[in-house]
Structure 1
Amino acid sequence: MTANINLPRILRVGAGASNEVATALAQLGLSRPLLVTDPFMVQCGYAERITAVLTTAGMPCGLFADSVPDPTTDSIDAGLVVLRAGNYDCLVALGGGSSIDTAKALAVMAERQGPMRDYKVPVQIDSGLPVLAIPTTAGTGSEATRAAVISDSQSSEKMLCMGLGLMPVAALVDYELTLTMPYRLTADTGIDSLCHALEAYVSRKSNPFTDGIALTAMATISRHIRTACAEPDNRVAREAMMLAATQGGMAFSNASVTLIHGMSRPIGGLYHVPHGLSNAMLLPEVTAWSVGHASARYATAARAMGLAGDGDADSLALDKLTAGLRQLNADLSVPTPGEYGIDEASWTASLALMADQALASGSPANNPRIPEAAEIVALYQRVWAGPARA
């Protein structure tokens, strides 16, 4: 079967890459950008740095700085007012996955009518304004994916949107922008990247192109994530995590995520848990439930992460993988849903809805072991109980 590979047309990686924003736009024949970012990027001065580069190059840009974490349809509507009021030919997204997904949503909805829920999967959105992405977190990989996740303000559903219109035409991957990331954000976005790589590798849509990228990302993240968290100014670790995040984005965008992401989105939508953290909560238990249905692949992943040796039998490698993922969560202080502050009665009452939303996303169908709703409910219950149950 032919693999369908989609990547940004321009990809610049390394220290100072963000300073090449005007050059990249000029290469693409673009000159009237709207900068999409969030209040923190304005406060810390990163937004001003980008606008200064653009202004110096004769590309004065507009500004929408009201991106919100886990963007909502209401926040997209606010951005559309700004976008449609100007004569913009592109968007520059500066920030984490939320700002980049906001820019993507604005780009594809600029000339479309109706609510965004009309465009969630399985609809494919294959056209939109060009987006240049400048990530400031090492996690989502959104700068290299044809996907965006937007929460429906009415239903709280986290909607997965897909299509070529959501793929940035350019990505400037500058690890220096991540040096100010705090511990929790570093940990959660790092585990998000690890999920991207692992899920892409075991996905039923995996392919030879994404396999190598995914394994490289897993190895890099496992080697550097603890250092990046403990030593925020460690440039070697920061650079490695940033590159791995982009690689993880490339891998899952072209091979798909699986059950972890499918189950993660409802947790974020209903309980406003940051995306990377909800993935982290799920990673060990969903992996433990799935390993028996793709033993060779999960064992190879364990070896790539340094959790198992080349001489270990696959069965031992699988045990070491699940133990290693649980230890990673413990080392990085990943809370259970209850420790995060979610009410147990509310969690229990939402189990069926979360399972239905997870299945509706389509991602669980790519998992090596395809779940039914009751099995997803049981997994949510295991995740609530936490590692003490094991």
Structure 2
Amino acid sequence: MKQFKITPQILEFDHCTEVGKHFGIGAGDLVFISDRTYAQHFSGAISDEAYRVNYRSYVTGEPTDVMVEAIYADIKDYQYQRVFAIGGGTILDVAKLFALKNTVPVVDLFNKELEISKDKELILIPTTCGTGSEVTNISILELTAINSKFGLAVDELYADYAVLVPELLSDLPMNVFATSSIDAFIHAIESYTSPKASAFSQLYSKKAMEMIISGYQTIAEKGPQARTPLLGEMMIASTFAGIAFGNAGCAAVHAMSYPLGAVYHVPHGEANYAIFTAVYKTYQALAPDGSIAELNAFLAKQLGCDKTVVYQALETLLDHILPKKALRDYGVTQTDLEHFTEAVMTKQTRLMANNYVPLNEDQVRAIYQQLY
């Protein structure tokens, strides 16, 4: 039985001031926002009576369980009814946990050893065009005890409102645009070939891929500055991809990128790109006639190439946005590859269950070796 749903209400505004007027953000609101985003976009839209959490004062990289527990210790005495998160995937994923009745200990929460119930309203406002977290029921953290990223996926993590404001992308640096949008692109692709995909989720996957490829082609032709008029479209494409993978899931590309991100702090979208085409070439070799054939034909049409060279053509296009590196260029060692393989096979079973075809330990190790 296939299922499909879009849970948050999706609102669009042209300007951040409109967000403040609509929601009346103030007393009783917990607001996750960086000082920079607040100063540039929300200083007149958020009342001083709201409790603002500058997450950047707690972490410089990817979110961790330690970070969440440090924030909880600081805000635990503040009584709030609504949680706002304005930022990238890090802020959104962390804020979701604070809409729950029980947030800590985080490892117990992620192991589902705590009661999971939502007792606050949750409003998510992305400032990048990548994670799609505003429309998913997933929070991903690095759990320091196991030195790997881990996801909690429960319906209680859905937002009540997903709010899109393209103005928030106006000062997005090229490197952040690149890593976030590539993440969205891979969300769309992995969800398309997932066994959990449906005609409905694939519709969103295909539209997201089409919009992102078109944007990349414009940037490849005209240069990085050409991204500016495309930012609204890319934000919508990211949300489309989030809807797709929120229903059908991501798979081996994400599972295999997590150890790279956790150990070497590679930005999430960049880590995904490092893994992406090797996984899909492996799928292609193992089972060329299923949904991957449909995917390849669709991508070939968008790229204007023969379907037999679709992954080479994709790499050529993506390298205009973010040059691909070998794993050793990040400092990865041969010993790491063994640890990465073990982590994927033992700790990322939720994602590996969504693979287009099953991958065993030897196949995962071979992909890492190919990328080394």
TM value normalised by structure 2: 0.88
Residues 23 and 337 of structure 1, relative CA distance in 2, 3 Å threshold: same
Residues 30-45 of structure 1: pairs in structure 2 closer than 5 A = 32-42=28-38, 45=39
Deviation at 1:322, TM superposition (A): 1.5
Aligned partner of 1:237 in structure 2 is 230
Question: How far apart, CA to CA, are the structure 1 residues paired with 2:262 and 2:111?
Answer: 15
Residues 274 and 349 of structure 1, relative CA distance in 2, 3 Å threshold: same
The 8 Å contact of residues 207 and 255 in structure 1, kept in 2 or not, is answered as yes
Q: 1:257 aligns with which of 239, 250, 261?
A: 250
Aligned partner of 2:174 in structure 1 is 183
- Does residue 105 in structure 1 map to residue 97 in structure 2? yes
Q: What are the Cα deviations for residues 267-325 of structure 1, in whole angstroms up to 9, with x where unaligned?
A: 21222111111111111111111135363533433444455689x9xxx52x2322222
Aligned partner of 2:123 in structure 1 is 132
Aligned partner of 1:174 in structure 2 is 165
Question: How far apart, CA to CA, are the structure 2 residues paired with 1:196 and 1:334?
Answer: 18
The 8 Å contact of residues 166 and 235 in structure 2, kept in 1 or not, is answered as yes
Deviation at 1:80, TM superposition (A): 1.0
Deviates more, 1:113-122 or 1:268-277: 113-122
Question: How far apart, CA to CA, are the structure 2 residues paired with 1:320 and 1:122?
Answer: 47
Where structure 2 has 5 or more consecutive residues not aligned to the other structure, the ranges are: none
- Does residue 219 in structure 1 map to residue 210 in structure 2? yes
The 8 Å contact of residues 32 and 91 in structure 2, kept in 1 or not, is answered as yes
Aligned partner of 2:54 in structure 1 is 65
Q: 1:206 aligns with which of 197, 214, 224?
A: 197
SS in 1 for 2:46: helix
Question: How far apart, CA to CA, are the structure 1 residues paired with 2:218 and 2:108?
Answer: 40
Q: What are the Cα deviations for residues 114-166 of structure 1, in whole angstroms up to 9, with x where unaligned?
A: 33344247999453532211111100011111001011123322111111121
Question: How far apart, CA to CA, are the structure 1 residues paired with 2:302 and 2:229?
Answer: 24
Question: How far apart, CA to CA, are the structure 2 residues paired with 1:123 and 1:84?
Answer: 17
The 8 Å contact of residues 215 and 227 in structure 2, kept in 1 or not, is answered as no
- Percent identity, aligned pairs only, is 22
Aligned partner of 2:88 in structure 1 is 96
Deviation at 1:188, TM superposition (A): 1.3
Partner letter of residue 342 of structure 2?
L
Question: How far apart, CA to CA, are the structure 2 residues paired with 1:309 and 1:327?
Answer: 10
Question: How far apart, CA to CA, are the structure 2 residues paired with 1:199 and 1:348?
Answer: 22
Question: How far apart, CA to CA, are the structure 1 residues paired with 2:113 and 2:225?
Answer: 40
SS in 1 for 2:83: strand
Q: 1:378 aligns with which of 348, 366, 369?
A: 366
TM value normalised by structure 1: 0.84
Deviation at 1:185, TM superposition (A): 1.4
Question: How far apart, CA to CA, are the structure 1 residues paired with 2:74 and 2:19?
Answer: 21
